[in-house]
Structure 1
């Protein structure tokens, strides 16, 4: 499928090429994390002001899971409780943290008029699969169990994330449907990674190998998974779940210049076939990762506003 980047996206991509930075697969995990963290200052927009931002430490079998609670100025409430989004950051399960996705979490809180809790799950290769999954599920359990104390309406609890975070959100939704978790009102999957088989056409098209290249995806996979057998585990590849029936409503976003494009599209279509209400949004002229680059890419703000509007319906007591 031909990919024609929007002018602003093409300009950003050229800037990255001109910078001639080493690819992640040439770095150690620690070096890649530092590089990714530093890059946010050039791409993230100014953080919107919120009513409150609070650090959390979520108890888990291995210790505490760091998290961050965001409360916007304008907050939907009923009987003193608000809807919430549990957010998992992207970064290939290897890079990224609460700070790299701080602005994204803030914008979703503002646009959705709800509480956002961003979860800093354990990263690979120090903590391989299924450590990130275990943390995502444990954190969602804890948030639901402590909803009232957090000011959250547990009946209006959504999950979401970008890329690897979208993978974790999809897995948490399936686990909850299977009985391992609280009821989930909706799932926001922003260019999610859902199938480690990587056999969809967009995984081999040169036009999609832009900021997220085919080789760096393999680098992420090799750091995260223990071996090829994990590819078939639905907790790594949610598209491999035996059935998608009974999952919560989904907002699925894909980008044209993205190796994950076709698997995200396929997952959205399979959700629809399974009877799940799906809002599917494709940004043909953007590349993987654009959602966090609002300082440079206006379409990031468009996406945030659309997701916020969707959350105001899905994470609501009066949703149909």
Structure 2
């Protein structure tokens, strides 16, 4: 039996506790899966467009591209007029079911400024309307499109990184798996915030944080079933990164861990396996924060620290223009 919600709130820093409590106070009681897809989206897809952005950037442009299932929308953040900038392709989280471009606007702006790079945020198809491999296919196609359209986007095609939080981190790994299996060029680096990496759904964090605020066990299982049910995803390393036989090929990876996170055991095991395979992986845990904290730099101090650490990783591995 895991800790109670009240006990877990006490583990959080004051600002993270206030953020989690505000969600609990403003939404019906968890687990949220009981309210169905529309109900869960009404809780989590509120975005942050109602308030001014926390970080001004040089420009923000809405773009579309032809995706595998139709037009894909994306949002491009630029730090300056300068051409041949390095770039980060960002995949939002949300359990493959929820999540919007607005919901990651703050973190994309922050990475744009602090890593001095173009950030391209992707509005991939979501489950259950589009189960695996729809989102993975969209993200791979986006990577290919960004490299092909680098000149028009004003970016350096040789300095592209991938980043994502939660489900978005899983999707960034899916792109790397597909590229490595095809023996194609991988991105320069990865930034992954608390990604789902296993389908075992067991381990110490699954027990301790079963009733965690933001993401509990019942909701994690529900999100996963919406993305994978009937698709064969449980045997596919593009969906289950820990099954990959190409972990040695991963680019330098910065993996952000949240202390109070039901998924933590999974991505800790994944990081250990990738290191053993020969990949360069830095796993950094931020104490006193829950799953979901990284995209909230306006509200949570540890999120601001994690963004700064991620930006430092990106700048280090972008290297000079070729």
TM normalised by structure 1 equals 0.90
1:9 and 2:16 are equivalent in the alignment: yes
**Counterpart position of 2:61:** 54
The correspondence for 1:71, drawn from 65, 78, 84, is 78
CA-CA distance at 1:198 after TM superposition? 1.3
Quote how far apart the aligned CAs of 1:72 are.
1.4
2-side partners of 1:100 and 1:294: how far apart?
12
C-alpha displacement of 1:207: 6.3
Alignment match, 1:27: 35
Q: Write out per-residue CA displacement over residues 79-122 of structure 1, whole angstroms, 9 at most, x where no aligned residue.
A: x3111111100000000111111111111111110011111100
The aligned runs of 1:170-249 (5 Å cut-off) are: 170-179=173-182, 182-206=185-209, 209-227=212-230, 229-249=232-252
Contact 2:193 2:256 in 1 (8 A): yes
Displacement of 1:36 after TM fit? 1.1
Is residue 120 from structure 1 mapped to residue 123 from structure 2 by the alignment?
A: yes
Rounded Cα–Cα distance in structure 2 between residues aligned with 1:100 and 1:14: 18
**Matches of 1:19 and 1:115 in 2, distance apart?**
34
Question: What are structure 1's unaligned runs of at least 5 residues?
Answer: none
Question: Which residue among 251, 261, 268 is the counterpart of 1:265?
Answer: 268
How far does residue 296 in structure 1 lie from its aligned partner after superposition? 2.2
Q: 1:83-162, aligned counterparts within 5 Å?
A: 83-162=86-165
* CA distance, structure 2, for counterparts of residue 228 and residue 84 of structure 1: 32
Change (3 A) 1:45 1:315: farther
Deviation at 1:318, TM superposition (A): 7.3
Residue 189 of structure 1: SS of its match in structure 2? strand
Which deviates more, 81-90 or 198-207?
198-207
Identify unmatched segments of 5+ residues in structure 2: none
How many angstroms does 1:181 deviate by? 5.3
Residue 265 of structure 1, CA deviation: 1.4
**Which residue in the other structure is 2:293 paired with?**
290
Q: Distance in 2 between matches of 1:87 and 1:39?
A: 16
* Aligned equivalent of 1:38: 46
Question: Which residue of 2 is the match for residue 169 of structure 1?
Answer: 172
In structure 2, what is the Cα distance between the partners aligned to 1:294 and 1:266?
27
CA RMSD of aligned residues (A): 2.3
Q: How many Å separate the matches in 1 of 2:144 and 2:112? A: 20
